[in-house]
Structure 1
Amino acid sequence: MYSPPDTDERPAARPRDRVAAAVGNASLLGIGYLLLGRRLLAAVTIVVTVVLVVLLTTVAPFRWFEVLILAWWAFVVAHGWYLARENAAKVGKQRMIALSVTAVVFAAVGLLRFDAVRIDGVIADARAQGSCATATEALDSRWLGHRVADAPLVTGEEATREACRRLRAANGKLARALSGKPGATAAAFGEFASVRREMPGHEAMAAVVLGGFLRHLPTPDACTTAKIDDWLSAHASAGPAPAQSAATVARTAPAAYLGCGDRLMTAKDWTTARTWYQRIVDRYPTDPRVAKAKEGITKATQALELAKVRELLDGPTGIEPDYCDSPAPYSAAAPYGAGTNRALFYGNDGYSGRFPAEWRASDAAQAVLVVCLGDDEDGTPVQTCPYENKMVPEFPIEVTFHKVAVPLKAYELRTGKLVVDTKVEIGGASCPRKLHYRSYVADLGPPSDTGVEPSDADVRAAFAPIIRK
């Protein structure tokens, strides 16, 4: 009699190799799950691994995150071992697959980590030698695999890339400083400061950049060099190579200061020229250029004094200039003393035109005195004479003739000091046969007081004691 098959019989379960499952999952590619037939778990493993790697290489390149990935690795390894506990058996083919895939993954990660360490060593040596070119070349030799294998190390090296970028910017600014824009020096040192503050360990690279700049000093333009040296002397102590900067300044500054001062003297910028000359005297008192610098200070000071005097004397000679109220010295002028003291005459010009040529100076640069003349006044009475009174002929008018008194102040140009303050009295002819006068309403007769009529000789005799000593 036919009996139907026993429906309770099921096909035998597929053997599971716990070692293959654990080793396969150690690849973090879900190989162990695939060997166990757990495709969904394999897919989830791959997705989680990819997400963790993306996070590691972008927003979380830290050692602690690597520990988190290691924990995930340990979990999937243990989970694969756990799932294969039922019907466990040694399956050679599964082990071969698991070992092959995991070995490739481990070998790739290991080699990439080793190479990342090697590149990091090259970068560290480049930092120590100050070579941004070598460091940048090493940085550019990396790829995504290095970042996946050792994200914290690779990410840390990016500070060197940024430091080199800033140092290249500093080098460009220093080049502009050398080409005639010395103010760019400060901006370059700002880049150095940011590298030192934010990316420590790159001091040698900054020193190399600054050293290249210092080797180009002095520049062909003395004033450019002077301005750079002046800035360095005040700020280089905070830079990457203070000793080298100080030595360069000491080597180049005195000549640059002197050359810049000379150039500015030619350009008639006497104030700035004197400043550069004074720098030499103050900062380098033993330098052989000090004597020339002191000469330059004297010349610049005298040029400034002369410009000030000319400004105070500006205006027509017929009126008193500002100098008469606010005198100023011109130390290059000759002293007031024996001989003929040439003068500039201002104010009352009724007599200065009658002076001999050798008394008059054409400019403050040739003068000894500045003479300020006031308006005529009646001086000492000389003679009184009767003149016809046309209103009452019986009573003549007595007219007293006076010397002409001229208020005079003479300033020694060399010192700006008042050396003469007097009234010069000019003699002359009195009691002429006919007395000329002017009446604006009715002819009331001549004035009772009037001045004498001085000749050229009288004028010169009156002023000679002031001019000639």
Structure 2
Amino acid sequence: MKDDRLAVAIGNASLLGIGYLLLRRWRLAIASMMMTAALVALLLVEKALWPQIVMAVWWVAVVVHGWMLAGKPGPRPVAEQRVIALCVTVPVLLAGVFFRVEAAGIQSDVAEAREAGDCAGVTAAQQKARYGDRVADGPGIERLGVDVEACAELRQIASRLQTTWSGDTDTLAKEFEKLRLVLAKPGQEKTVEKVLDEYLGTVTKGGPCPTAKLATWLRNRPEGHNVLDKSRSVGDGLVPDAQFACAQTEIKAAQWRPASNRLQELIGQYPKAAISPKARVALAAVTLKVQLLDLRALIENGEYCTNPAGYSGAPRYGPGVNRALFLGEPEGFTSQLPTKWKTASPIDASVVICTEALEDGPAIRTCPYVREGYDFNFYRTFRKVVVPVKIYSMRSGQLVKSAKVVIDGPACPEVYTDDSALLPIAGSTISTPVEPTAANIRVAFQPLLVRR
């Protein structure tokens, strides 16, 4: 009987040194098993192709070496040797095939879950991998770790994206950059798309104004020619309604100027949007509020007469009685006008009349007077009072007319009381404005305020 070459080769093909045991080469058998154990450990540690190549080379080496050592006289029949070799090697090879097939199946499951954007499925499939799978296909199983890491990162991104619902566009920009980096990894398009879709479906959770801010950012995001560009169209679709709803919120809070700016932006950017007709109606009402705010600020600061502005909601300046808001120099004679001719509210005024410093008007009459306690005459020339005015249309803020209102009054009263401490020069003439009656004042201002 001889040591069968085929049996020894088959036995060594188990990588357990069985062929060497059949040859009674105990040291070689132990060395072979230790080498195989070291290579298996290397396969578990180094998830690369080269350890697998080393293992394959080792497998061929021990098979060939066993074949070459056999052929000498031995104690066992050939059939017995082959049975022993097959009983050990076949299970080992079947296990190797099994784990290789299982590793391929796990990789297929992970790929399928990844293509469906199912990160939970990716993790669950990868967790099925056993040590045998890692030995059979270390690089393949290692690649699954990249998918799992990508999914773990995507879960963190999805969580942080929820914090942007308050309108935090800074965080939104950072997380979209992270999505872009994950997308750059092989095969991650669907997983990234799923996270993106889930976020885009929740953008409105923060309310109208945060939604408007987020949607505007999404719409204006630079195009990247990838799946993230979907956010641009979604944002564009959300902006009109979100802007209008936000404007309505600002209107309820009496934030007229922000609401006006928002509505103008909406109409300018989306003139044909379904919400735009409502936005135009709302803008018309808000514009009046803004004009009134500006108008009241000018009046309160004493700046209207130098910087007039219009209020579109004011009554027109036309036939009939036009109520006036008097500004400028102290009221003076205007306080004696009929109540129905004037108003303190810009809402009710048809015109704003800015009065300037009084001027001397035409002389009416000169009369002699004697100051009490003195024995000489002096003269007073009584003159009409001139009130320079500028009339502005409250509705448009445009200058309607510059005029001088000349007010008549009684001249040369029998007694004229002079309370000044100045002593008039004998024979001198003092220019003196008349003291008009309410009737005189009404007659002078009536042409400005009552139009035919």
The correspondence for 2:250, drawn from 260, 264, 267, is 264
2:183 partner SS: helix
Corresponding residue number in structure 2 for 1:70:
56
- TM-score w.r.t. structure 1 length? 0.79
Shift of 1:427: 1.8
Corresponding residue number in structure 2 for 1:165:
152
After superposition, residues 210-229 of structure 1 pair within 5 angstroms as 210-215=196-201, 221-229=207-215
Corresponding residue number in structure 2 for 1:132:
119
Corresponding residue number in structure 2 for 1:455:
437
- The change in CA–CA distance for 1:48 and 1:122 in structure 2 (over 3 A counts) is closer
Shift of 1:152: 1.6
Does the 8 Å CA contact 1:427/1:454 hold for their aligned counterparts? yes
Corresponding residue number in structure 1 for 2:341:
359
Corresponding residue number in structure 2 for 1:327:
308
How large is the RMSD of aligned CA atoms in angstroms? 3.6
- The change in CA–CA distance for 1:410 and 1:153 in structure 2 (over 3 A counts) is same
Shift of 1:451: 1.0
Q: Are 1:52 and 2:33 an aligned pair? A: no
Unaligned runs of 5+ in 2: none
After superposition, residues 43-442 of structure 1 pair within 5 angstroms as 45-46=35-36, 48-50=38-40, 52-56=42-46, 61-79=47-65, 84=69, 87=72, 99-173=86-160, 175-176=162-163, 180-181=166-167, 183=169, 186=173, 189-197=176-184, 199-215=185-201, 221-235=207-221, 238=224, 240=227, 246=233, 250=237, 253-278=239-264, 280-315=266-301, 321-347=302-328, 348-388=330-370, 393-394=375-376, 396-440=377-421
Shift of 1:223: 3.5
- The change in CA–CA distance for 1:73 and 1:437 in structure 2 (over 3 A counts) is farther
Identity of aligned residues (%): 33
2:311 partner SS: coil
Does the 8 Å CA contact 1:236/1:246 hold for their aligned counterparts? no
Shift of 1:230: 3.3
Q: Quick one: which amino acid aligns to residue 111 of structure 2?
A: A
1:323 partner SS: coil
Unaligned runs of 5+ in 1: 1-14, 316-320
Provide the aligned length of Structure 1 versus Structure 2: 441
- The change in CA–CA distance for 1:421 and 1:49 in structure 2 (over 3 A counts) is same
Shift of 1:78: 4.3
1:162 partner SS: helix
Give the distance between the partners of 2:275 and 2:281, measured in 1 at CA: 10
Does the 8 Å CA contact 1:426/1:454 hold for their aligned counterparts? yes
- The change in CA–CA distance for 1:125 and 1:398 in structure 2 (over 3 A counts) is same
The correspondence for 1:41, drawn from 4, 24, 31, is 31
Shift of 1:305: 1.7
Q: Quick one: which amino acid aligns to residue 122 of structure 2?
A: A
Q: Quick one: which amino acid aligns to residue 152 of structure 1?
A: P
1:112-165 deviation per Cα after TM superposition (whole angstroms, max 9, x unaligned): 121111122222222333322322221222233322221221122223223323
Q: Quick one: which amino acid aligns to residue 411 of structure 1?
A: Y
Give the distance between the partners of 1:345 and 1:146, measured in 2 at CA: 94
1:239-260 deviation per Cα after TM superposition (whole angstroms, max 9, x unaligned): 637569737854x554443333
2:320 partner SS: coil
- TM-score w.r.t. structure 2 length? 0.82
- The change in CA–CA distance for 1:54 and 1:243 in structure 2 (over 3 A counts) is closer
